Structure formats: structure tokens, C-alpha cells
Amino acid sequence: MIILSELEKSVLDEIQKDIPLVKRPFRKMAETAGTDESTFLNTTQSLLNKDIIRDISAIYNAAGLGYASTLVALATKYPDKTAEAINRHHGVSHNYYREHHFNLWFTLTIPCNQEFNTEILKILQDEEYEAYRILPSLKTYKIGVNFRFSGEKKLKSKNSYSTEIQSVNLDKELIRILLSPFPLTPEPWSKIASTLCRTEQQLFNEIETLKKARVIKRISGVIRHRKTEYKANGMACFQVAENKIDQAGALAAQYNAVSHCYKRPVFPDWPYSLFAMTHGTSIKDCEHIADKIASEIGAEKTLLLFSTKEYKKERVKYLI
């Protein structure tokens, strides 16, 4: 675990927030962090260099760009070799090893006109595996959490995110630029607007439109929390009756330590319909949260899986 200075902690708290649409956003963020603009920018760059901040760019709703995303659970006796094949696919953003019969867990994002099953079979065509299960989100109860580093040490949940997409014209050049690393300069929006041959206000208006349409979730930094005190995260899976799933999902989503909470399909060999990603400073933290949720929602069965190896973790690469 990397020891963070008080300044670094304050900067990490701010950089996880949506970068404000003002002429000098980092000056505004620096004021909240208790420092000056130059120091804030230098510290942010340092945290990027240390790989504590994974990246800073726009986070999109896949459906808003004409893509679909799913979680895939795979059982294989050769996880390291199979993970290499999986990671070569541009649509795979996360890939983990977890101690279970289904031991490889990865996310796959592809254009909506493609089929998950077909694409997965292409990925695995030269691999030995036993089975896989396609587990898309059927309903989102919560997505997003801020890892708070300064002041009171706790996770701060964001408001649950609506996945309802509104129809809007997409400027592919704008989409691509906002996917690129965000400029760490005093006037980053001006730089982006100039590249797009727009005024700054025109850029702000377009971004606001994309946010209102739920195409852009936010433009912010993403933390590699495993390099910090929040080194533990467990995927809590609950078996819940179909007529109780929405109530259970709403209850689980209320926990600050839960970042993502979804309803997913079930199978004879996978009866867990409710998924909740739990985070904490230790495995015991995650176990405690999972136990509390299970008790509160009356789960018939609970399984808590920890990622013991991270094969891949990056933002989705949309081929726009």
C-alpha cells in the first residue's frame, strides 16, 4: 500500500468528482482541496505517474453509444493462459481470477448488432474451458462510489445512476476526444474546444446535452483503489426470490460500501440473481457488509468472491 500525503488525499477526493464545466475547473477543485491550481495539477500528474489515478476521461453509458455490455463467468483449468486470450479482445475492460468453479470473471462490451455468445466463442476458439455463463445486468440498482481519503475515512456513495437513455445525435469526434486523457492544464476545456473548432460555451452545451441524455455519466478520474487503503473488494452474490429482488436491490444499494448493485440472470449452476460489489480496507470489512446485507434482505444463499488476481482493468475502448 502506498502512503499518501494529506495533499494527495485531498486531490484524490476531488478528482473522482465530475470535472466542472467552468473556464478553470482545476482552480475550483483546488479551492475545495485547500490548495492552489498549480499544486493541484502537479499533484494530479504525480498521482497519475504513480498509477494511483488510473486515468481521467469521460465515462460513458455503453448503451448511449450503441454498445451492450455483460459480465461473463468462465470455468477453466488454465486461467492464466485463457486470460491472455480474453485480454486481447478490445471489448474486455476488466478480467479477474476468483476462487470458484467459475474462476475467470470478465466484462465484455460490443456493438449492439453483435451477439455476446458469438463473440465469446471467437475469443475462446483456441482455449480449453468447461463452461461459461453470460450475466448481463437486467436491472441496475446502483452504480458509483467515491473512495474518500481525507477527513473521515469512509466510502461515499454517489446517487444511483439512471440507465434510461435519451435519443441524441452523437458527435463521434467529441466522443473520441473525451475518451482521451483529459488535459492537465489551467484551461483544459478551451484546449478541447479549440481542437473541435468550437467555442468553450458550445462545448459546454454539447457535454450538458450528453449528460442529460445519460450518454455521459461523468468526466472524472478513476482510482486504483487496491494501491490505497481500500485494498479489499468482494463480489457479494445473493440468491433472492424473484418477487423480492427489487426490494432487496434497493436495500443493498443503500450501503455506502456498495459501489455497484445489479440484478442478473440465474442458471441451474448459478442461482444468484443479486450482485453487490463491496469495498473496504480489509476482507473482514467486506464480509461484514455482505453478512449485513444478506440478513437484511433475507437472502436464501450468499456467496462472497474476492478477486485474487487482476488480469486487466481499464476503461472500455469504444470503436467510435
**Which residue is it, cell 453483435?**
114
Computed over every residue of the chain, the mean pLDDT equals: 92
Report the relative pairing of strands 258-263 and 274-280 from DSSP bridges. antiparallel
pLDDT tens column, 243-268: 999 999 999 999 989 999 999 999 99
94 carries an active-site annotation: yes
Continuous segment of H or E residues that includes residue 286: helix 283-297
Would you say 184 and 46 are in contact if contact means Cβ atoms under 8 Å apart? no
User: Phi and psi (nearest 5°) for 54?
Assistant: -70, -50
* Grid cell locating 259: 459501489
Domain boundaries, the chain: 1-50, 64-146+226-313
Selection from 38, 1, 31 nearest residue 14 by Cα:
31
Coil, helix or strand for 56? strand
* Grid cell locating 225: 483503489
Q: Single out the catalytic residue among 89, 90, 94, 225.
A: 94
**Which residue is it, cell 450518454?**
215
Would you say 203 and 193 are in contact if contact means Cβ atoms under 8 Å apart? yes
pLDDT tens column, 69-121: 999 999 999 999 999 999 999 999 999 999 999 999 999 999 999 999 999 99
Q: What is the pTM of this model?
A: 0.88
- Residue 164: is its pLDDT beyond 90? no
pLDDT tens column, 185-215: 999 999 999 999 999 999 999 999 999 999 9
CA pair distance 35, 47, nearest whole angstrom: 16
Q: Quick one: what percent of the chain has pLDDT higher than 90? A: 82
Go through 225-253 and write b for each residue having 16 or more CB atoms within 10 A of its CB, e for each that does not: bebbbbebbbbbbbbbeeebbeebbebbb
Q: What is the assigned CATH class of domain 64-146+226-313?
A: alpha beta
